[in-house]
Amino acid sequence: QVQLVESGGGLVQPGGSLRLSCAASGSIHSINAMAWHRQAPGNRRELVAVILYEGRTNYADSVKGRFTISRDNAKNTVYLQMNSLKPEDTAVYYCNVVAQTAPDLRVGGYWGQGTQVTVSS
């Protein structure tokens, strides 16, 4: 199985920055996609950003130009740099990966426990 541990959430003022990290561990053969999702109270979980193994990225329109997703394949870690944060970015942020496990080579989706990001003055 694959375990995901997230870190970096917290309270920040509007206009501030935070960097989220998510480290994957376990019986990993390879990781294809790594992504961040978020869910605000009363809202559906939404995709924030995704990065493929070769580095291709895609972002939600609401975060383009402010957030940057990156990954370190050697460390099986994905990052989300969040700049110019707004109150509407307040949510629980979840890490999500699509990984192939060893030795069975099964492909599955895995989720982290979530980390709270609060943007408020």
What pLDDT is attached to residue 81?
98
Helices (runs of H) and strands (runs of E) counted in the chain: 0, 11
Read off the pLDDT of each residue in 37-55 and give the average, rounded to a whole number. Answer: 96
Mention every residue, 6+ apart, whose C-beta is less than 8 A from residue 70: 51, 78, 79, 81
Mean pLDDT of the chain: 96
Share of the chain above pLDDT 70, in %: 100
- Provide the 3-class DSSP secondary structure of residue 94: strand
- 88: phi then psi, degrees, rounded to nearest 5: -75, -5
What pLDDT is attached to residue 68?
98
Quick one: 23 exposed, middle or buried, by C-beta within 10 A (0-12, 13-18, 19+)? middle
Nearest-CA neighbor of 20 among 86, 109, 76, 94?
A: 94
